[in-house]
Chain A
């Protein structure tokens, strides 16, 4: 059941996430203008911005998914507001710690903080442990919250029903149907728990070396594996949380019957749960000390992880909208466009995760191209759809009268224009993570500049939505509410 306290904490999350999002976009635009030689940033400042941008984006969109599923989960099982508040406080504390390390401590080892980079101190000495501690604070908050949600689901549904295994047999137990929302939330939460535990192991190993004064050193290969086990999985699971929201809300706001869990939905998501946990090996293709078997697992798991979820969702969404009377609103348009962006970004990811292509695309701007596509034009849109729906829910009015056509047109131009510049640059083998480009990369600066301008258009739409949504969210805190 949705309580006032749940509405309040969800509002607080939405306002915080959107505010951080706007700032993180501004950092991103600044970096692209610098790469485009329109402004001139000190390299250390550039990499501090890169670190802040990356860690903020990955964090807020992971937690945005959790906020959405936590709110909608209340329709099926009781959810704990205390855990929600606990996670919120730890998130705020964690973000402040991280921003202090990057802006005051000048920490700039990127959000991946790949071992042993954080130990090559090119910033304030205290920044390394505080950055790692900040990540730890975020991780603890989210881990406890995710476990809490998982426990609540398991209190109502058996393990078999949670994973919808009854739908996989020919004589399935129709008396208990697992809603797609529960299935996808479970799959995603398990992935989140696993990757946060990987982060815990990673941080423990970092601190063990940091405080051992040289008596303990880490294996770089293990640290890189753990980093991407955590990072890649978190990025993917955030997206799946967004999809859980889509499965729950899109039919509802479209005036269509709810999605059902069929055998292919159950199978697709069960497969995704297993394969997404091993897809991260594709980040280590260039690490020739990793046995070839792991590289093969990386490529195959990348295909298997994305295909079932993507195919099943695309098919379900197409069935929902094709030749059916749909009550279009900003919410379901954002969901629909989110699926499109996710699929385009997904294809870009699959191209890159194929070994024979990765030889050319590894660490080029193709990488930010694909992850910005499925985040900025995929996952973000899923969460914005939820934020918009929730804000309308808070004010008790789902019938929006304002026109949203201009917003959508600008969003498409800004968003896809922005990522297209990354794709072009990636295809021209322009390397990523350069603060400025040497003259040899003739088109890199121009593409960066154009990308920045497109991102400005995207930012305008986000600001527009920000004010609309936040205004409604604040009403929840009014004494008269």
Chain B
């Protein structure tokens, strides 16, 4: 019987694993930090120039999108636009939206800018580049083409570059204005007082991260997660022992 059960479990594990197709994702925000971004040539509605000419004038946040994206790109840009509108206009930075899809033309990017009402906004630049692979590699961005869906599998990536062309901050996903403010401070070489994680008033984190060593460790929060099952187990054994004692006494 035991053999049968073990065989069943083994087969189930194999079947379950075959269904699973873990992607090769690297969503770390630490890769390529403090390295220089590739100085690629950009094509924009304002003309052709090099990336260094953009960050040389003011720090820049670069958003990576493609115009035919049916996933994260639209909400990502929408939220970025909303958050930037909510911030003070005195802050010194520009936003460069770059298409990482070689099928996108400059006209596509201009149309995208129009859709978001950003054509006349000098803070925003919409661009394509022939050297997209070079740019992607320099920031550690690896979109994967899915020929079935005819879409790129990619994360929403915002890269903060300071006036010297160094990548000083990366944000993955749609983020709060608070995170955006930290990036703006970073690219302007302003002092960031503290990062929100880990906080002293957060007692029960599930995991802790040591930025010095890059080590991730399980933390007190996991014990809290185990508590309900442990308490139930203890209750069961306690009831059971009580019953045994009562039986012995009788």
Contact = CB atoms under 8 A, between A and B. Distances in A.
Interface string A191-235: 001110110110001000000101111110110011001000000
Given A170-B1, A288-B27, A197 B243 contact: no
Interface stretch (B16-24, B59-67, B121-129, B137-145): B16-24
A355 B18 CA distance: 11
A201 B228 contact: yes
B5 A355 contact: no
B227 interface: yes
A176 interface: no
Interface string B201-234: 1111111000000001000010011011101100
B203 A216 contact: yes
Given A201-B227, A355-B22, A150 B206 contact: no
B13 A222 contact: no
Nearest to A311: B8
B103 interface: no
A300 B16 contact: yes
A159 interface: yes
Contact of B16 (A154, A193, A198, A303): A303
Given A190-B232, A216-B201, A291 B227 contact: no
Contacts of A359: 23
B240 A154 contact: yes
Interface in A276-328: 277, 288-292, 296, 299-300, 303-304, 307
A197 B243 CA distance: 23
B158 to A, nearest CB: 16
B228 A197 contact: yes
A439 interface: no
B236 interface: yes
A195 B228 contact: yes
A222 B22 contact: no
A267 B201 contact: no
Interface string B193-206: 00000010111111
A304 B227 CA distance: 23
A354 B20 CA distance: 6
A122 to B, nearest CB: 17
B225 A229 contact: yes
Nearest to B1: A263
A290 B199 CA distance: 18
B235 interface: yes
B207 A193 contact: no
A158 B201 contact: no
A219 B20 contact: no
A308 B21 CA distance: 24
Nearest to A191: B232
A219 B202 contact: yes
B240 A219 contact: no
A102 B152 CA distance: 41
B144 to A, nearest CB: 12
B204 A219 contact: yes
Given A150-B239, A154-B243, A354-B19, A219 B231 contact: no
A147 B240 contact: no
A292 B240 CA distance: 37
B164 interface: no
Interface string A171-198: 0000000000000000000100111011
B13 A300 contact: yes
A303 B228 CA distance: 23
A299 B16 contact: yes
B133 interface: no
Contacts of A267: 5
Contact of B231 (A197, A218, A291, A300): A197
A151 interface: yes
A221 B221 contact: yes
A267 B221 CA distance: 32
Interface string A120-160: 00000000000000000000000000010011001100110
B20 A355 contact: yes
Contacts of A354: 16, 19-20
A198 B231 CA distance: 10
A403 interface: no
Nearest to A198: B228
A356 interface: yes
Contacts of A291: 207, 216
A221 B206 contact: yes
A193 B232 contact: yes
A221 B231 CA distance: 22
A263 B19 CA distance: 29
Contact of A225 (B16, B19, B206): B206
A197 B232 contact: yes
Contacts of B221: 219, 221-222
Nearest to A212: B201
Interface string A248-273: 00000000000000010001000000
A66 to B, nearest CB: 16
A288 B13 CA distance: 23
Contacts of B204: 205, 218-219, 222
**Top 9 closest pairs, chain A to chain B, by CB:** A197-B228, A222-B221, A356-B21, A198-B228, A159-B240, A219-B205, A194-B232, A354-B19, A221-B206
7 contacts: A200-B228, A216-B201, A218-B202, A219-B202, A225-B225, A277-B229, A299-B20
Given A304-B12, A354-B16, 19 more contacts: A150-B239, A151-B239, A154-B239, A158-B240, A158-B243, A194-B228, A194-B232, A197-B227, A201-B227, A215-B201, A217-B199, A218-B204, A219-B205, A221-B205, A222-B204, A226-B225, A288-B25, A356-B21, A359-B23
Interface of B: 1, 5, 12-13, 16, 19-23, 25, 27, 199, 201-207, 216, 221, 224-225, 227-229, 231-232, 235-237, 239-240, 243
